[in-house]
Homo-oligomer: A and B are copies of this chain.
Amino acid sequence: MLQAPPAEPGMREDEVDTPALLIDLDAFEHNLDTMAALLAPTGAKLRAHAKTHKSAVIAKLQMARGAIGQCVQKVAEAEQLAWGGIPDVLVTNQVVSPRKLARLAALAKICKVGLCVDDPAQIALAEQAAEAAGVRLPVLVEIDVGMGRAGIEHGPPAVALAERIAASKHLSFGGLQAYHGSAQHMRTPEQRAAAIAEAAARSRRTVEQLKQRGLDCPIVGGAGTGTFRHEAASGVYTEIQAGSYAFMDVDYAKNEDAPPFRHALFVLAQVMSRATPGVAVVDCGHKGVAVDSGMPGVWQRPGLRYAGASDEHGKILIEDGEAPVLGEKLRLVPGHCDPTVDRYDWYVGVRKGRVECLWPIAARGAMA
């Protein structure tokens, strides 16, 4: 079931029903503008990652500020963006299910859609789907740039895959996918710089070898909010795939020399019990705010510590300052934005204490 919206435009923020996912629109717009300004002098383009926001509305706002397209991880996410009018979507992932590939190929009739491979078998499956749909799909080769997750070895193995793509009648070689996810959360700037220098070196080497084989590499894509300044400055990466920058979360804010984005995403929660001394229990546990990267913060209440998340209860310890009263609403800052967004059906956009808009999170739960 789609859940009912927790608010209506014009309401005061403290009237919003809880738990609710709030966007602070001033901070959010600041973040979009800041990213556009940071990338402008580098020549790298933004292909924002919709795995964070799951919304064609937000994708359009990013593209109005110069983003050239969107990334997704799932075919079901690509569908929501394509159906919502986004013209260029890249699945930054392998797709091995013929049913999913048929769905993806069907989208190619209404927008540009690409995908990634790291194995010849995936190329054969994509070729079959594209042929059956009568479309031509751009396919990127994902190379491992240091994560040891997906991605083929850079250099000759990657070039061999690219040649196989280029030789496929219904596919075109789209470039390299060179994402280093674990580098995003390295704490010091030196660690992050070193990791991305290595990723850029592997990418550069592969681009040169492709050129030697007569293959042009239209895209080198990767980067996230924790490292994108390095990729953008590398001269190799052409597309930056940051997502979280639009919202920011507690974990990214912990990085030394964190990028200049503001917290724009909050979960509004309500104190539902004050029966235990020193404790305020709120109506949002880990079903409502993701805790895989740590507990949420309590916004502008430094004396309150969200210390424990049950499924539906959050236990806030009152360590200092004013104690919240029963019924009071508190803003939580998610430890990790992406999975938090994925729990909700609606964004509640707020500005200066009032609800300004409601936006559906159309790709919520779009896992397949």
Bitwise, A111-152 to B at CB < 8 A (1) or not (0) is 000000011011000000000000000000010100011111
Pairwise interchain contact B272-A94, C-beta atoms closer than 8 A: yes
Task: Report the minimum CB–CB distance from A333 to chain B (whole Å).
Answer: 18
Q: Which residues of the partner chain B approach A121 to less than 8 Å between Cβ atoms? A: 326-327
Convert A276-289 into 0s and 1s, putting 1 for each residue whose CB lies closer than 8 angstroms to a CB of B: 10010101101110
Interface string of A94-110 (1 = CB under 8 A from B): 11110110000000000
Asked if A64 lies at the interface with its beta carbon under 8 angstroms from chain B, I say no
A283 contact set on B, CB distance < 8 A: 93, 367
Identify the closest chain B residue to A77 (Cβ). Answer: B312
Task: Give me 13 other A-B pairs in contact (C-beta within 8 A), A95-B272, A96-B271 excluded.
Answer: A1-B364, A1-B365, A19-B368, A121-B326, A144-B276, A149-B310, A149-B315, A150-B273, A283-B367, A286-B292, A311-B338, A311-B339, A344-B367
Contact of A339 with B287 at beta-carbon distance under 8 Å, contacts A19-B368, A97-B18, A368-B19 already known: yes
Query: Once the chains are docked, how many angstroms separate the CA of A156 from the CA of B151?
Result: 64
Binary B-proximity of A168-191 (CB < 8 A = 1, otherwise 0): 000000000000010000000000
Q: Is the CB of A73 within 8 A of B312?
A: yes
